[in-house]
Amino acid sequence: MDTQAFQAAILEGIPEVLPAPKAYEPNINHAPKRKEILTEEEKKLALKNALRYFPEKDHAELAPEFLEELNTYGRIYMYRLRPDYEMKARHLEQFPHQSRQAAAIMLMIQNNLDYAVAQHPHELITYGGNGAVFQNWAQYRLCMQYLATMTDEQTLVMYSGHPMGLYPSHKDAPRVVVTNGMMIPNYSKPDDWEKFNALGVTQYGQMTAGSFMYIGPQGIVHGTTITVLNAGRKISGGKTDLAGKLFITAGLGGMSGAQPKAGNIAGVISITAEVNPKATHTRHSQGWVDEVIADLDELVARVEKAKAAKEVVSIAYQGNVVDVWEKFAEEGIHVDLGSDQTSLHNPWAGGYYPVGLSFEESNKMMAENPELFKEKVQESLRRHVAAVNKCTNNGMYFFDYGNAFLLESSRAGADIMNEKGDFKYPSYVQDIMGPMCFDYGFGPFRWVCASNDPKDLEITDQIATDVLEELMKESPAEIQQQMADNILWIKEAGKNKMVVGSQARILYADAEGRMRIAAAFNKAIAEGRISAPVVLGRDHHDVSGTDSPYRETSNIYDGSQFTADMAVQNVIGDSFRGATWVSIHNGGGVGWGEVMNGGFGMVLDGSDDAHRRLTNMLFWDVNNGISRRSWARNEGAIFAIKRAMDANPQLKVTIPNLTDDKFIDSLF
């Protein structure tokens, strides 16, 4: 399809004449069938909700088709409305637009649904098994049409994938405001998501799926590399050389697909188990994992060979991770590092597959006999933990990777609690990312070159390197390690070929680093060294974006880890300080009802106005979180917020007065 036809298709929105039905494509990685949860009356309501996107003349044709989708797949996806053009990031000028900011947002949406990026592209799911960009293809078409026709004095309002409409606004307001899964608190149980999503009234946006900021597995590979490196340092007296050390984990689907690449960069032997052959094939064909093995005895022999030669190699085990853990525990093979990154925030609908059942058997059971499937999952988790415990008793360091593994294992009755009633194992945020990164303001700063030109990405990599090296000369001792790790990362980024989809990059930076890098990008755009605008963003998994008691805020110990003020304040503050779009979600990362998280996107176009916005917004976006972490009495955050106040006299933050623990204990 040429550019003119592509633009016409977007401007058409929902077609006046219905396109022909599309055949189901079995070669595409599809979402599993969702369980039957709606009553007959609720199915009628779901149909009415879907048909409101279409004039009455089309209802007789569409209603039986939508009912069949609902009965067959558990959702109404409106497959026939899938566009005929390729879903991918393009140069932003190829999108029809009146607002360049809106064109950049269209680029990001297309990238989220790129077949090389999205986990279940035909179901509009980007990652995590249920992380949706939209609920159905009518929403996609309508949203793209709105973005193509809006001006810089309008704001598009998005309710869980539904484009509510364009509203008069102003140039300083966000172009898009996104909410996903904003439920009344008592209606945030897993079955509530199943029901209300099936009705077509809400969706699970994950973290960066429903906020249009997903950049493929690269988005987490840097954080995973930092985590594995520092987990290795914990067990090797601070040494960075991890040659010959073995890391076992699971998950190759969405974000978890970053693990083998991170293992290679960190210099370990890694085994990543994956039950879905299509996910394994995708990561292997993309070069994100080196080898695929489906036989346990062959796997053991390969690992022993790699240990002896101190190889750096990533191995995908095609099968269930519980079998791997039990095999290695039984044979007494020493494992140095262990974790898990299956989508246990979504345990009953494809996020975790029980041992002893094939992939196909599991998909059939979860749809047709969900109660038995739940029993199988919980039985599997008990076996999973028992095998992990044997390996940790043999000296392995195990950490929860924020996927609700510990939480769901505890709910399954696994031997996962210690004598104090706490989890036996730490979250990686508690041990590594919280005290080392988030408390000091370091988090996942992202950018995407809107030209979609690899040359522009190379230039941004060099600019970021130059800025960080200059900053490191001025940095205090407390953050020298963070600076050094990030400089090494960005220098090696291009060599590791991490781009999947858009020309994007990520590194961990604090507020000063983000502002300085962004300002340098903006200047380079103005001077023509970068050929087109750059989109800034971040993972919601950051210093200030997410309130998540079992992950991002698991190292908050003042009792406020179950509050969500920080995430909400983050989004409100970003929206009036210059963000191009903002989003707030229920459930991203660790499960529906377990977390609130916010994100943003910002378009740099080389203008003075963009410089004003980036300075104002990025400063708040980070220091909001440092302020909260400081008030929780986190030592690193107290240091970081005092440093921020020294740098900006307009910042005045309430600093906690510390108490003597012995004095408090003496009162009881």
Q: Which residues are annotated as a binding site for NAD(+)?
A: 128-129, 206, 274, 401, 589
For residue 584, give the H/E element and its range: strand 581-586
Cα separation values, 374 from 127, 350, 379, Å: 22, 11, 9
Closest listed residue to residue 77, CA positions, set 28, 8, 117, 17: 28
Closest listed residue to residue 594, CA positions, set 401, 404, 391: 404
The rounded distance, in Å, linking the Cα atoms of 382 and 574 is 43
DSSP three-state, residue 216? coil
Place of tokens 């209603």: 63
Closest listed residue to residue 226, CA positions, set 8, 429, 374, 58: 429
- Residue pair 556/469 in contact by the 8 Å Cβ criterion: no
Which residues make up each annotated binding site? 128-129, 206, 274, 401, 589
The rounded distance, in Å, linking the Cα atoms of 492 and 494 is 6
In one-letter notation, the amino acid at residue 164 is M
Q: What does DSSP assign to residue 585? A: E
**DSSP string computed for 446-470:** EEEETT--HHHHHHHHHHHHHHHHH
The rounded distance, in Å, linking the Cα atoms of 124 and 139 is 10
Partners of 507 in the β-ladder:
445
Total length of the chain: 668
Strand arrangement of the beta sheet that strand 337-338 belongs to: 291-293, 313-318, 269-274, 246-250, 337-338, 397-398
158-187: string of b/e by CB count within 10 Å (b at 16+)? bbbbbbeebeebeeebbbbbbbbbebeeee
**DSSP string computed for 352-419:** S--TTS-HHHHHHHHHH-HHHHHHHHHHHHHHHHHHHHHHHHTT-EE-B-SSSHHHHHHHTT-S-B-T
Cα separation values, 116 from 121, 222, 333, 505, Å: 9, 19, 36, 16
- Residue pair 554/429 in contact by the 8 Å Cβ criterion: yes
At 416, give phi and psi (nearest 5°).
-120, -5
